[in-house]
Amino acid sequence: MHYDVTPPVLREPLVRALLIMLVAISALLLTQMVWTVVIQFGDLILLFVFAWVISFLLEPVVGGLQRWLPRAAAVLLVYSTLLIALTSSVVLLVPVLVSQTQTAAERLPELDNLFRRFADSVADGLATRGVTLADYTGQLVSPLAAIGPWIVANAVTLATATATILTQVLLTLILSLYFMFDGARLGQKFVAAFPSKRRDEVAYFVVSVNRAFTAFLRGQIIQAGVYGLGIAFIMIGAGLPFAALASVLGGISIFIPFLGPVLGTVVPIVIALIADAGKAWLVALLTIGLNTIVINVVAPKVMSREIGLSPVLVLAAVIIGARVGGPWGALFGIPIAAVISTMISFYQLNVADREQQVVEMTRVEAEPPDDTDSAEESSAVRAIT
């Protein structure tokens, strides 16, 4: 026989509603306090997040090398190769980018004049048909004339900012190296800190986060790389300068969620107009074709695991993420939304289906830990080793 031990006062609907409201208000206040702390240390937190992401992106490479090398040797080999590649890219690419940026900025007034002539010709054509347009051309294109001198004058500042970013990248790589060596032990301690009844659920959450972020970021990086190389070939094939500038900016643009395809198309076309307006139409056609192939063919294939979000949720994740966390929020909003969606689906299952999901998600081929609590930790602890 079941006895209701709830105090009589808590059975009143009004009291229960008030309690729910108090809990909700307390949760909102706690969230606001935590978010304030996060904002204060946002740059440091972002540094650790990127280090964690890099370690997960490189984990498959390290795992493949472990067939022939010990883990420590495999990790050092991968990071040494990555460091050499980054250093070589900086030494070879940064001076070229600075030079091409200065030259392109000096030509921006020519693009300003081109747009003015085009707008005037359109206005004259409409005027012959009795349609009169207000002269907004100067207001629309005058910023182009101001951007060029600013870029030229601040080239040294931009180079200094680039050096600062590279220093942060180096620090991030060092932190990710520590994550690579010690991440499994930290993960075990994190899961083991929860009650034994909740460890499998926590492990499921951790694995979901790993899969969502790894699949999303690896896919974005591959798309950006393919698109950047494609833009470089288009610019070189058309015999135009600024190939390095166009490819780097195009690759960075395509990396931006949702808005990337548009920016990745516009940026190379604008650079082509600066270089040679007569060949811009060819670059535009080839860029649109490349964009279509990358977004509709390459993107679905490079995702090791699908994010599983509808376009509406993707747009909502980008907008909300940008509102909450700025550009980084827009970038990481999609995998965060994917994790939330996965966990909501998980808790909608019955107990038996949840257990099956945990087994499928956390199944690994590693040996269980020798610790005496290994039976309680079950697959939860092994999931993140």
What DSSP assignment string belongs to 214-274?
HHHHHHHHHHHHHHHHHHHHHHHHTT-S-HHHHHHHHHHHHHSTTTHHHHHHHHHHHHHHH
- The 10s digit of each residue's pLDDT in 285-331 is 998 999 888 877 776 666 545 566 666 777 777 788 777 777 777 77
Residue 185 lies in a domain: yes
pLDDT for residue 233: 92
Tell me which of 103-117, 234-248, 265-279 is least confident: 103-117
Q: Are residues 169 and 210 in the same domain?
A: no
Q: Are residues 257 and 373 in the same domain?
A: yes
Of 150, 169, 193, the last residue of a domain is: 193
Q: Percentage of residues in the chain with pLDDT exceeding 70?
A: 69
pLDDT for residue 254: 80
Q: Which residues contact 368 (CB under 8 A, 6 or more apart)?
A: 374, 382
Q: Are residues 147 and 261 in the same domain?
A: no
Domain range enclosing 153? 43-193
Residue 162 lies in a domain: yes
Residue 158 lies in a domain: yes
Closest by Cα among 182, 217, 252 to 50:
217
Q: Are residues 200 and 188 in the same domain?
A: no
Q: Are residues 165 and 309 in the same domain?
A: no
Residue 29 lies in a domain: no
Tell me which of 97-106, 181-190, 373-382 is least confident: 373-382
Measured CA to CA, the distance from residue 45 to residue 57 in angstroms comes to 18
Is 145 or 172 the better-scoring residue by pLDDT? 172
Q: Are residues 223 and 367 in the same domain?
A: yes
Burial class (CB in 10 A: 0-12, 13-18, 19+), 318: buried
Domain count across the chain: 2
Q: Are residues 219 and 355 in the same domain?
A: yes
Read off the tokens for 42: 């946002």
SS3 assignment, position 142: helix
The dihedral of CA 346, 352, 357, 359: what is its sign? positive
pLDDT for residue 315: 74
Of 178, 193, 208, the last residue of a domain is: 193
Measured CA to CA, the distance from residue 142 to residue 161 in angstroms comes to 27
Q: Are residues 181 and 230 in the same domain?
A: no
Read off the tokens for 308: 């599983």
Q: For residue 209, is pLDDT > 70?
A: yes
Q: Are 179 and 58 in contact (CB under 8 A)?
A: no
Residue 19 lies in a domain: no
Residue 379 lies in a domain: yes
Residue 183 lies in a domain: yes
Confidence of residue 339 (pLDDT cuts 50, 70, 90): confident
Q: Are residues 236 and 177 in the same domain?
A: no
Measured CA to CA, the distance from residue 309 to residue 257 in angstroms comes to 13
Q: Are residues 250 and 362 in the same domain?
A: yes
Measured CA to CA, the distance from residue 95 to residue 260 in angstroms comes to 26
Q: Are residues 206 and 107 in the same domain?
A: no
- The 10s digit of each residue's pLDDT in 50-64 is 888 788 778 888 888
Residue 27 lies in a domain: no
Of 193, 216, 234, the last residue of a domain is: 193
Q: For residue 372, is pLDDT > 60?
A: no
pLDDT for residue 258: 67
Name the DSSP class of 368: P
Q: How confident is the prediction for the chain on average, in pLDDT?
A: 73
Q: Are residues 167 and 256 in the same domain?
A: no
pLDDT for residue 151: 55
Measured CA to CA, the distance from residue 328 to residue 257 in angstroms comes to 11
Rounded to 5 degrees, what angle do the CA atoms 133, 139, 142 make? 130
Residue 308 zone, left/alpha/beta (φ > 0; ψ -120 to 50; rest): left
